[in-house]
Amino acid sequence: MKIGIIVGSIREGRLGLQIGEWIKQQADVQGRAADYVLIDLKGFDVPLFTSATHPMMAKKHYDDARVQAWSDAIDACDAFIFVTPEYNHGVPGAFKNAVDSLGSEWVGKPYAVVGYGAVGGVRAIENWRSVLANFSMVDIRNELNINLFTHFADGAFVPNAHQNDEVKALFDALENLTGRLA
């Protein structure tokens, strides 16, 4: 079982990469049965979605090499953890664009969301649930909310013991669901 931890912010000085790396580290430290891989959206440089071919009709073959690389990385995973900031009560545009650029790579796969922002990314998480339902993706109700004001010190992510327990429960639920759907 391969679970992709997708870091969805591409901003300079972004905090999401620290969170994604912490999630990966927690999976490694816990000796999880699943293979957790970090997928950093910024590294793919996914262009704006302008293709004349609808992604669901593309059959996982894209003209743009950057989109193809993104497709290959996503298609290789059985489930996902979306690490998402909340921008203006919603999801970040670049992350949404990258999701919209693909089609069947997402269909029916389980996912969890780790949100961060002034109120822990709760509105972005709810936005993602409505977007990903279009792909018949299956979410776990566990979520992890990271507050910019209480979980960061001098720009560094400082997880607490409660978050360590929450991420373990998130792993357990996501692995369980992914195994049942396999």
In 25-44, which positions are buried (b, 16+ CB within 10 angstroms) versus exposed (e)?
ebbeeeebebebebbbbbeb
d(CA 1, CA 56): 24
Task: Count structural domains, the chain.
Answer: 1
pLDDT at res. 72: 99
pLDDT of residue 12: 95
Nearest to 32 by CA among 179, 181, 182: 179
Tens-of-pLDDT digits for all 182 residues of the chain?
999 999 999 999 999 999 999 999 999 999 999 999 999 999 999 999 999 999 999 999 999 999 999 999 999 999 999 999 999 999 999 999 999 999 999 999 999 999 999 999 999 999 999 999 999 999 999 999 999 999 999 999 999 999 999 999 999 999 999 999 98
Phi and psi (nearest 5°) for 133? -60, -30
Q: Supply the pLDDT for residue 133.
A: 98
Q: Which domain does 164 fall in, by range?
A: 2-181
Is the pTM higher than 0.95? The answer reads yes
Instruction: Residue 35: give its domain's CATH number.
Output: 3.40.50.360
| 85: exposed, middle or buried (Cβ count in 10 Å: 0-12, 13-18, 19+) | buried
